[in-house]
Chains A and B, each alone.
Chain A
């Protein structure tokens, strides 16, 4: 089975432009997470969905960031307008919970965003 698929792998854009990152979770997984990784702040949880419904978006830095999950096999993270401080690696991850097992989190390879 394919893992979590993210696109694009690399994005270079100019300040003020809109950026859309995409994620396809593993089939059958009902949780989807968006993380941001930077040297300064480490790994930060931005938002997560359960059964396509956003559960906790308290990690979204500001209104410039938005995330959607229109169906079980696709999610987007959008930044509009982008700023240089948004430069980071953005990871999508998915999992399912079976009974009392917390469930292994499966990560995509990440989207490296550079905002000039």
Chain B
């Protein structure tokens, strides 16, 4: 079946540090991959996505590259801010146009000043 595995948190960083949150997946075929972010007290919102191998999704300084050879979609940011403190979810759709997403368990990021 389809599954997403994320690194366990919390990830604790100081402001301006480099961020990596690991995400690997299991899926047949050619899934689409997503990162969603949940700020405190809010619902999830789409951060970035990639729909085919070697695509790079980017938004708000965050990036993730779809690596089919390693079945990974790691989230990175060069310099985090306190306002980036949130829970980050990696997710996949087994193919384009599929109705549901499979989410990972989420990784909490805490950034201190």
Contacts and interface: CB of A to CB of B under 8 A. Distances in A.
Interface of A: 4, 31, 33, 42-43, 45, 48, 50, 55-56, 91, 93, 97, 99-102, 104-110
Given A102-B93, A107-B43, A108-B43, A42 B106 contact: yes
Interface stretch (B21-29, B65-73, B94-102): B94-102
Interface residues of B, number: 22
Contact of B99 (A31, A42, A100): A31
Contacts of B2: none
Contacts of B97: 97, 99-102
Interface of B: 32, 36, 41-46, 49, 51, 89, 93, 96-101, 103-106
Given A42-B106, A43-B89, A102-B32, A56 B42 contact: no
A45 B100 contact: yes
For the complex, would chain A's binding face be called helix, strand, loop or mixed by DSSP majority? strand
A33 B100 contact: yes
B25 to A, nearest CB: 14
Contacts of A97: 97, 99
A110 B96 contact: no
Contacts of A42: 103-106
For the complex, would chain B's binding face be called helix, strand, loop or mixed by DSSP majority? loop
B31 to A, nearest CB: 9
Contacts of B100: 33, 45, 48, 56
Find the residue from A31, A42, A106 having the highest chain B CB count within 10 A: A42
Given A43-B89, A100-B96, A107 B44 contact: yes
Given A97-B97, A101-B97, A91 B42 contact: no
B99 A105 contact: no
Nearest to B44: A107
Nearest to A43: B103
Contacts of A56: 100
5 contacts: A42-B105, A43-B44, A43-B103, A56-B100, A105-B101
A47 to B, nearest CB: 11
